[in-house]
Chain A
Amino acid sequence: EADIYQTPRYLVIGTGKKITLECSQTMGHDKMYWYQQDPGMELHLIHYSYGVNSTEKGDLSSESTVSRIRTEHFPLTLESARPSHTSQYLCASSDPGTGGTGELFFGEGSRLTVL
C-alpha cells in the first residue's frame, strides 16, 4: 500500500474562502504531482514538482498554487475558492524507475465542493 496521504478527504466551503489541500508521502520520492478529476473524465495534471523548491504548472490551467519546501510535503492552495473549483483533487508521487517506467502512487483524494 502506498504511503501517501491527503487531507482533508472531503471539504465543503463557501465562495471566496482560502483553502489548502495537504499531501504528504513517506517514500522519499522527489517527484510529486497534483491532478484534478471530474466524474467520468480523465485526470488532468495541474502542478508537478521534481524536488525541493521546484514547482511547475501542468497541462490544465489552474488558479491554484503549490509549494515544495520539504521533500515529503506538497500542499496545494486556492486563495479564493469558486464553484468552478468543485472537483476531486488527487496527489501522487513517483519512484525513479528506469526508462520512464517509474511507479506512480496516488493518495486517496480530496473531494472539494465550493458553494
Chain B
Amino acid sequence: KNQVEQSPQSLIILEGKNCTLQCNYTVSPFSNLRWYKQDTGRGPVSLTIMTFSENTKSNGRYTATLDADTKQSSLHITASQLSDSASYICVVSDRGSTLGRLYFGRGTQLTVWP
C-alpha cells in the first residue's frame, strides 16, 4: 500500500531557531515529492517539488532534501519566524500516474513561539 508518513506530528520551537521535518514514503514507482505549507483555515501552498534526480531544493529559508534510495525526505526551516507556524504537508506522486494520484501525509503542525 502506498503511504506517506510524517514526523513529528507536532513541533514547538522558539523564534529564530532551526528545525527539520521528516517524511518517509513507500510510494512506488516514484515520480516526485512535494512539500506544502498550510496555514490554519487556508489552502495549502507549494514550497518545493523534487523529482527523482534532485536531492535538494531551496525556497528562501526552506530547504528540502530527498533520498530516493531510502525513500526519505526532510524539510529544513532556517531562522524560524512566527509566520512559519503552520502545517507542513509532504505529498508524493507515483510515476506515470495522473496528477490526481497524489499521496498525502497528515502533516507536521509547527508552532513558532516568540
Q: Which of A2, A97, A100, A104 has its CB near the most chain B CB atoms (within 10 A)? A: A100
Chain B 3-41 interface 0/1 with A at a Cβ cutoff of 8 Å (1 = within)? 010000100000000000000000000011010000001
Question: Is B60's beta carbon under 8 Å from chain A?
Answer: no
Q: For residue B102, give the distance in angstroms from its CB to the closest CB of chain A.
A: 7
Check B88 for interface membership: any CB of A closer than 8 A.
no
Q: Does A94 count as interface, using CB distance less than 8 angstroms?
A: yes
Given A99-B31, A111-B41, A104-B99 contact (CB < 8 Å): yes
CB-defined contacts of B106 to chain A, threshold 8 Å: 40-42
Q: Indicate whether A45 reaches chain B with its CB closer than 8 angstroms.
A: yes
- Candidates A44, A90, A100, A111; contact of B99 at CB < 8 Å: A100
Query: Which of A43, A58, A106, A109 is B45 in contact with, Cβ under 8 Å?
Result: A106
Alpha-carbon gap, A33 to B45, bound state (A): 15
A side interface size, CB within 8 A = 29
Given contacts A40-B106, A43-B104, A45-B102, whether A100 and B43 have CB atoms under 8 Å apart is no
In the complex, the answer to whether A109 meets B104 with C-beta atoms within 8 Å is no
B1 within 8 A of A: no
Choose from B43, B89, B96, B100 the contact partner of A45 (Cβ within 8 Å): B100
Check if B104 sits within 8 Å of A101, measured CB to CB: no
Which residues of chain B from 90 to 112 have any CB-CB distance to chain A below 8 Å in the complex? 93, 95-100, 102, 104-107, 109
Contacts beyond the supplied A48-B100, A100-B99, A107-B43: 19 A-B pairs with Cβ under 8 Å: A2-B43, A31-B99, A31-B100, A40-B106, A40-B107, A41-B106, A42-B4, A42-B104, A42-B105, A43-B89, A45-B100, A99-B32, A100-B31, A100-B32, A100-B96, A101-B31, A104-B99, A108-B42, A109-B41
